[in-house]
Amino acid sequence: MTIPGRNRVIQPDWPAPARVRAASTLRMGGVSRGSYASLNLGSGVGDDEANVARNRRILAEMLDLPAEPLWLRQVHGTTILNLDGTDRPTPAQRSGPPPPGSMSLREPQAADGAITSRPGRPCVVLTADCLPVLFCDTSGTRVGAAHAGWRGLAGGVLESAVRCMRVDPGRLLAWMGPGIGQKAYEVGGEVLEQFAANDPDAVRCFSANARGRWQADLYGLARHRLRSAGVERIYGGGWCTHSESDRFFSNRREPPCGRMATMIWLAS
């Protein structure tokens, strides 16, 4: 797969079917300034909203997107939206009709991921240290994206995404995009306790530091949770948004800051 503007994005290195399109943006190539320089795609983070809108147009042209992505209002939760409806996304965990007051595809809805089986509908998550995770099935009929910070991981956002894909987990591929590396990600003991309370094996993804706190391995935690959910084909990882300042935004390094977009869609 070749994507226009590939020098400004990371293309997932995974054996996805040919009709699956995916990319994760870098911070360069836009019009924003200061700590938002330059391709900030996040609205509501302090950047000039006119610049954000222009950056999103740049992104659409750069990737030749088939439609406007559904920009989510991410809340570090576990809700995954189903974009297969004609005009209204609905929580994919919930059965039955859309809940009252569901927002249109162009309005920000509180969720931390999206899935679809419809061609031409990009699923997107925004990050600046948290981990973006993409999904597709081996037949190229369903795709999804999830936003996984430590709260989402502990709450089960990846397991939620796997369930919402509605295929055998053994037929799923997952790709982890740029997130903060373990050496840069210091957390308190309460974070370790939240993971260990339900999964003692998760403590292997934490190492103690000299300050009496812990270095958390988001990539390791994500791999562990995905494998526990039955997903064995896991790709990507290895970046550090905190240390690679020329390529990535990092909220821990330079708050407030911009956001990168990681997205996936099915070609017609």
User: Concatenated DSSP letters for 38-49?
Assistant: TT---SSSSS-H
pTM score, two decimals? 0.92
Distance of CA 126 to the CA centre of its chain: 6
Beta strands at 214-216 and 186-187: parallel, antiparallel or unpaired: antiparallel
User: Per DSSP, what are the bridge partners of residue 178?
Assistant: none
Residue 196's pLDDT is what? 96
Average pLDDT over residues 106-116: 88
Of 189, 174, 157, 180, nearest to 76 by C-alpha is: 157
pLDDT in tens, 126-179: 999 999 999 999 999 999 999 999 999 999 999 999 999 999 999 999 999 999
At residue 15, does pLDDT exceed 50? yes
For the chain, list the strands marked E by DSSP.
Answer: 9-10, 20-25, 81-82, 90-91, 113-116, 123-127, 131-137, 143-148, 172-176, 186-187, 206-208, 214-216, 233-236, 260-266
Residue 64, number of CB atoms within 10 A of its CB: 10
Residue 182's pLDDT is what? 98
Domain boundaries, the chain: 6-92+106-181+225-266
Taking the C-alpha atoms of residue 93 and residue 90, their distance in angstroms, rounded to an integer, is 9
pLDDT in tens, 205-259: 999 999 999 999 999 999 999 999 999 999 999 999 999 999 999 999 999 999 9
Residue 85's pLDDT is what? 76
Q: Report the CATH superfamily, name and number, of domain 6-92+106-181+225-266.
A: CNF1/YfiH-like putative cysteine hydrolases (3.60.140.10)
Taking the C-alpha atoms of residue 25 and residue 32, their distance in angstroms, rounded to an integer, is 15
Taking the C-alpha atoms of residue 140 and residue 49, their distance in angstroms, rounded to an integer, is 35
Answer for the pair 125, 74: CB distance below 8 angstroms, yes or no: yes
Residue 105's pLDDT is what? 37
Q: What is the DSSP letter of 184?
A: G
Task: Please state, in angstroms and as integers, the Cα–Cα distance from residue 182 to each residue in 49, 88, 130, 240, 242, following that order.
Answer: 32, 38, 12, 8, 10
What does the block give as tokens for 201?
């094996």
Residue 101 binned pLDDT confidence (cut-offs 50, 70, 90): very low
Q: Give the residue, 57 or 103, on which the prediction is more confident.
A: 57
Answer for the pair 207, 171: CB distance below 8 angstroms, yes or no: no
Task: Please state, in angstroms and as integers, the Cα–Cα distance from residue 61 to each residue in 36, 223, 248, 262, following that order.
Answer: 20, 33, 21, 15
CA dihedral 57, 62, 67, 71 (to 10 degrees): -60
Q: Give the residue, 198 or 129, on which the prediction is more confident.
A: 129
Taking the C-alpha atoms of residue 184 and residue 188, their distance in angstroms, rounded to an integer, is 13
